[in-house]
Each structure stands twice: as C-alpha cells, then as structure tokens.
Amino acid sequence: MSSVDASRTQDAMMAAARRYSTAMAAYMDSGDARQLEAAYEAARLALAANVTLSDFGLFHFSGLRERLQAPGGSGLCLDRAEDFFLEGMAVYDMALRGYVSGTAKLRKEVAERRRVEEELRDITFELARQRDELDAEVQKRTAEIQFRAEELECKNRQLIQTNQDQSNFTYALSHDLKTPINTIHCFLDVLLEDFEGELPPDAAGIIRDLTGTAQRMRQLVDDVLDYSRVVGHQFTPEAVNLQEMVQQILQDIDSLVVSAQAKIHVGELPVIMGSPFQIRVLLTNLLANALKYRKEGQAAEVSVGCGPAESSGRVRLFVADRGPGIPVEMQQRIFELFKRLHRYEQHPGSGIGLALCKRVAENHGTVITVESEAGQGSCFSADLKLQEKKSE
C-alpha cells in the first residue's frame, strides 16, 4: 500500500471514530431510542471504511471514556452506551454472518468445481485412450485395405495380361486356321467347277456339303477373330454418332434387310462416348439378329432408339424386334459363347454374336440386357455414356 493510500485509510478511520463518538454522546445524553439509528449508520459507514471489529470496539471504549470523564457521567449513561454499542455491533454481526454463509457457499462451489474438473479429466483420459485405440484400429484397417488393394491391383494386372495373352493366342490360332480353310474351300470350288459333269451325283452332293461346311468354318473363324479383337481391344473413349453409325450399318447389311422384307424404324439417336469399332460390332450383331430371327413367313420389323437410363449422364440404347421371342430359361445363356437357340440349318450363325455384344457392353462399363416374351419379340438394351455438352 502506498503512503497516499495509507493516509486516506487513516483519515477514513478517524472520521468514522468521530462520527461514532458524537452519535453515542448524543444518545447517552438524550436517551431517545430513535437516535439508536445513528449507531447503526455509524457502524455501517465504519464497515464500509474497512474498520475492523477490534478497531470499532476501540472507537466505542474511547468515546465512552471521554463521555464518562465529562461532567454529569452516570450509570444510566453506561446502560445507554451498551445499547448503542450493541446496535452498532449488529451491523458487524450481520456482516460476519454473510461472510460465513458466503464462505460456505464458496467452499461448496470450489468442491463442486474440483469434482467437475476431476470428471472432465477422467473423461479426457478416456477419450484419449479411445482415440489412441481408434487410431491404432484405423491404421491397422488402412494397412489391410492397402494390402488388399495392392493384391487386387496385382491380380487385375495378371487378369489383363491373361486376357491379352488369350486374345493374342485366339487371334493367332484363328488367323492360322483361316488360310487352310480358304484353301480347302477354293479346292472344293475348283472340283465342282472343273469336274462336276464327270462326278457321280452322290460325290457332287458330298462336295457341295463340304463346301457348305468350309463356309461355316470360315464364318466361325471370322467371328472368333472379331471376338479376340474385342477382348484385347484397348481404347480411349471418343465421340460416336449413333445416328450416322446405324445408317452406315443398315447400308452394309442391305441384302439382309431386303431378304427379310424388313421395316426399320430408327428414332433420334445421340452422340455417345466409346469405341467406334466396338459400338459398330454391338449394333451390327443386334440388327443382324433382329432381321435373322423373325417369325416364319412374316416380314421383320425392327426398332432402334434411345431412352432414359437409370444413371445420370447415360442413355439407354435399344434394338427391338417383333420376332418369336426368347424362352425365359435361355435369356441369360444366349450371351455365352457358342450358345444357340436353333440349329444351323434353321438359322446360320456361330453363336458368338451376343457374346461379343456382352463383352462390348462390359468394356463400356455397363451390361446388356434382354426383355422378351414368347411370340411378342425381344428388346436388347445397354446404357452408354453420353457425350458431355460443351459450355458456351
């Protein structure tokens, strides 16, 4: 405390002492009970001036001594002085009671705060423990996932290499088979052309059957070559105008369209993203099948169009016909290699076309599906990625 503050405190105490002595002397002289309020007020001001209880007692006894030493002091004055002092003490008593009450409340609050702090500390330790356990579990799971991802990536590379090797092997084998088949077919044609008149009828029929067999073998080899090219074909997606491509394919298979007396309905087709080679394979096989497998004695009717797909950014391309339909139990098997619904004599083919379509769909991140009812025709569809529109 500075000297200035100490001086101010001393002055306040002296002023409080004078006020108390003056008020007590007045009450002792008059005995007016209303003047006891002065004792209460003097004690309140002394308490406000930070006068301690012992100093307040000194104020009282100092004032009392002065009053008794003055002429006219008596025992009655002592009784009045005692009343006055007790009235002042009431102020300090109330202050002390409030202090005790406040101290008890403060202690209770401190104890509660310590309890809460201990709970928070326990909770913090528990959370830290759980966090460490979770971190350890996350690290373990991350390591497991990373290991699994690396394992899958390795297997995927092996699978890609296996597919590529299979495609290369199939292509080489088919290519090597094609030459002798063409040679056989050519020799059979020469035999029929040069010696048909000299051959017995049965021998000529056998040669014609062999020619047909060679032709089927050549078609099978061509289809296998197409399949191997699709399997091993790695591509970067590019824009494919379906409208133009369908028109080109219909021109290429015009003889089949004419022989089937077909009615072709082509809707508005968009530009998609994919492999032009593979999309052409897909559409060519679907259109050829729709024209080939028609109800006996009736003209073929085929529809090509697009509709909304389940995923955004894609469109559902479909090829539908009004043919005899596909039995339910065969609707999945027809996409397997060499699976056929009819004998070759009924409908020529190798049984590879729809397997090619399935592979093309898979290469484009989708699947090919069929909906068919007996006597109502079939509808093949696949969801393909639309070309993104450039913002202007």
| Encoded amino acid at 270, one letter | P
Over residues 90-119, mean pLDDT: 70
Give me the pLDDT at residue 292, please.
Answer: 84
pLDDT at residue 347 greater than cutoff 50: no
Looking at residue 349, what is its pLDDT? 47
Report d(CA 93, CA 106) in Å as an integer: 19
Half-sphere exposure of 13 (CA within 13 A, CB side): 17
Closest CA to 360 of 225, 243, 226, 269: 226
Closest Cα partner for 285 from 309, 307, 256? 256
Question: What are the tens digits of pLDDT across the range 182-227?
Answer: 777 777 777 777 776 777 777 777 777 777 776 666 665 666 666 6
Whole-number pLDDT of residue 30: 76
| Distance set, CA 265 to CA 321, 352, 373 (Å) | 10, 26, 20
Which residues does residue 380 pair with via DSSP β-bridges, in sequence order?
Answer: 319, 370
∠ CA 9-11-12, rounded to 5°: 65
pLDDT value for 73: 55
* pLDDT, tens digit (0-9, with 9 covering 90-100), for 26-61: 777 777 777 777 777 777 777 777 777 777 777 777
Helix (H) or strand (E) holding 384: strand 377-385
Task: Tell which residue, 290, 301, 300, 259, has the closest CA to residue 381.
Answer: 290
The mean pLDDT of the chain is 77
Q: Is the pLDDT of residue 136 over 70?
A: yes
Quick check: 91 and 44 in contact, CB under 8 A? Answer: yes
Q: Structure pTM?
A: 0.49
Specify the range with the lowest mean pLDDT, choosing from 234-243, 263-272, 341-350.
341-350
Residue 290 CA to residue 97 CA, distance in Å, equals 105
Q: Which residues are CB-neighbours of 300 under 8 A, at least 6 positions away?
A: 260, 261, 262, 263, 290, 291, 294, 321, 322, 323
Q: Is residue 317 exposed (0-12), middle (13-18) or buried (19+ Cβ within 10 Å)?
A: buried
pLDDT, position 5: 66
pLDDT of 312 over the 50 cut: yes
Token pair, residue 271, equals: 């530009």
Reported as a pLDDT band with limits 50, 70 and 90, residue 96 is low
Cβ neighbours of residue 126 under 8 Å, at least 6 residues apart? none
Specify the DSSP element, H or E, that contains 266. strand 263-266
pLDDT above 70 as % of the chain: 75
